[in-house]
Amino acid sequence: LLQVVCSDRESVVMSHRTIHLFRKGLRLHDNPTLLGALACSASLFPVYVLDCAFLEGAMCLGALRWRFILQSLEDLDTRLRALGSRLYVLHGATAAVLRDLVTRWGVTQISYDTEVEPYYARMEREIQALAQERGLQTFTRASHTLYEVKRIVKANGGSPPLTYKKFLHVLGEAEKPVRDLSAEDFLRCAPPAEPDHEQAYRVPSLADLGLEVEFEVLWPGGETHALQRLHKHFQSQGWVANFSKPRTVPNSLLPSTTGLSPYLSLGCLSVRTFYHRLNSVYAQSKNHSLPPVSLQGQVLWREFFYTVASTTPNFTKMEGNPICLQIDWYHDPEALVKWRTAQTGFPWIDAIMTQLRQEGWIHHLARHAVACFLTRGDLWISWEEGMKVFEEHLLDADYSMNAGNWMWIFCPVRFGRRTDPQGQYLRKYLPVLKNFPSQYIYEPWKAPEDVQLSAGCIIGKDYPRPMVCHIEASQRNLGMMRHVRTEQQNTAELTRDVADDPMEAGLKRELQEEEPLEGAEQHGRSKRFNGDADHKSRPRSWTPETLQLSGGEIIENITSALYYINYFNM
């Protein structure tokens, strides 16, 4: 198709001087926009604009994410140089930089990938305005998603499908990847060298941006590492075919998922390449896992959230969001700081938040656990506050995914203990507790004084006491959430679909009595966290929404209409 389009423009094919603007899509495999631009150009300048004000304003980037981006740019530059080109990195506001380059380089065309985020849409309008003003051509394709989201919305009658089940009904065939780029593609499109271009357009260092990261690199950025990780996982086709998301372990010391989500988020890895590699494995397997829990199902969840986000106003906010319940959250800056700095007094929660800050990645069930603790489970603080923290630290943070899924209630003690009874995960990320016996490490406040002394950690001094009484807080919050759902039933039903639930295999069962947490701070028994009489006793039976994990932990399904947390994490 790209070649046909270019042949129709034969008179201008060899005359275009093109800027290809990288934003996401930092790769050379399956890059239809770049491939098409090369086919229609005599010279092509691969450009990345380091618009720090835009990036930090739109995405709240932390140092770990900046490091991942810069590593990805360095890798892209290396791969481009191997094909006879290079990456031009410039600093400033994107529109102003492009305006200057159009004049300086005699540019006649700008190419870029189409994105769904509102801030990228605003940028694209500025590019189109510049093109119209200067008489430029623009060339754009959608390549960050498996499907073109506008087509899915159109197939659904002009509005996005708000349930996974409806989404699957309107998908159709996914486009296949385009061929990889080669040196031959760049041979006739090499831009002329400029004086001092090596220094003027180099990828900056963290120090250049005034940043410093003290933690080691566990997730190197870039297409090279993405493809290596993809190849490694597909060497075990049995693991790929039988992958089931609920069976992965949230507190394993090594990721029990693919770890590809950071690379997909930044476009270092093509989702179409990944998806069709999966299809090839499935075609050779008699029995394989199925959506929504399979790897293929995870990709489709990603597409689902991109589609919904593309047409939902204020998707990352509660106010003005038509599919989000309006909840009167508590404003408690002190509690929020304790949560984000791993000082809640609940070791499993604090270990997860420590891993997030140090590594920029946590398992999806761990994400649900800390998110639930912050919001409806314990602290009743808005999901928007938690989303900002995730957006700052998670390498795979994404506008659509970080604001787009479900939330479950997890006990901040028992679920971690079931999956890691010896507490090895806690000992790694909370070394202050490493000498506690396994029977106490998840609830160190219950340890006798002599045990605490022997472990070299006095609770309340060396490690905080629990900031809330979990049983009281969760009972009260559960009652408040049910009240909200009853009052706003129409909104809650918008995204209601049991088939959406990746834990759908679970069955309701009678809730086991949970022992109140001893040793909680006094304010944990204040009016805020003491349930009213109606919420003092936990119901003995649960609704059909109640689901059970394979480990036996009870969770409650809440649809994405309530509030959001990142689920897609591969």
- The lowest-confidence range among 377-386, 413-422, 445-454 is 413-422
Q: What are phi and psi of 48, to 5 degrees?
A: -130, 125
Is residue 303 marked as binding?
yes
**Calpha distance 34→73 (Å, rounded):** 16
Is residue 235 marked as binding?
no
Mean pLDDT over the full length of the chain: 80
The mean pLDDT value for 257-282 works out to: 88
Is residue 398 marked as binding?
yes
pLDDT at 289: 58
pLDDT at 48: 97
Q: Give residue-wise pLDDT tens across range 14-39.
A: 679 999 999 999 999 999 999 999 99
Is residue 501 marked as binding?
no
Cα 160 to the center of its chain, rounded Å: 20
Q: What residue segments make up the domains of the chain, in order of their start?
A: 333-501
Is residue 305 marked as binding?
yes
- The lowest-confidence range among 203-207, 465-469, 551-555 is 551-555
Is residue 397 marked as binding?
yes
135: left (phi over 0), alpha (psi -120 to 50) or beta: left
Is residue 179 marked as binding?
no
pLDDT at 251: 56
Is residue 416 very low, low, confident or very high in pLDDT (cuts 50, 70, 90)?
confident
Is residue 348 marked as binding?
no
> How, if at all, do strands 137-141 and 546-548 pair?
unpaired
Please spell the DSSP secondary structure of 272-324, one letter per residue.
HHHHHHHHHHHHT-SS---TTTSHHHHHHHHHHHHHHHHH-TTTT-STT-TTS
pLDDT, greater one: 303 or 257: 303
CB under 8 A, 24+ apart: contacts of 419-423: 419/249, 419/250, 419/251, 419/252, 419/551, 420/249, 420/251, 420/252, 423/347
Is residue 54 marked as binding?
no
Is residue 346 marked as binding?
no
Is residue 259 marked as binding?
yes
Q: Give residue-wise pLDDT tens across range 125-174.
A: 999 999 999 999 999 999 999 999 999 999 999 999 988 889 989 988 88
The Cα angle at residue 459 between residues 456 and 465, in degrees rounded to 5: 155
CATH number belonging to domain 333-501: 1.10.579.10
Is residue 298 marked as binding?
yes
Residue 432 pLDDT > 90: yes
The mean pLDDT value for 518-528 works out to: 40
pLDDT at 385: 92
- Read off the pTM: 0.84
Is residue 307 marked as binding?
no
Q: What percent of the chain has pLDDT over 90?
A: 51
pLDDT at 288: 63
**Calpha distance 64→215 (Å, rounded):** 9
Is residue 239 very low, low, confident or very high in pLDDT (cuts 50, 70, 90)?
low
pLDDT, greater one: 268 or 15: 268
pLDDT at 232: 87
Q: What is the CA radius of gyration of the chain?
A: 25
Residue 408 pLDDT > 90: no
Is residue 257 very low, low, confident or very high in pLDDT (cuts 50, 70, 90)?
low
pLDDT at 519: 43
The mean pLDDT value for 496-504 works out to: 45
Nearest Cα residue to 12 out of 173, 136, 118? 136
Is residue 299 marked as binding?
yes
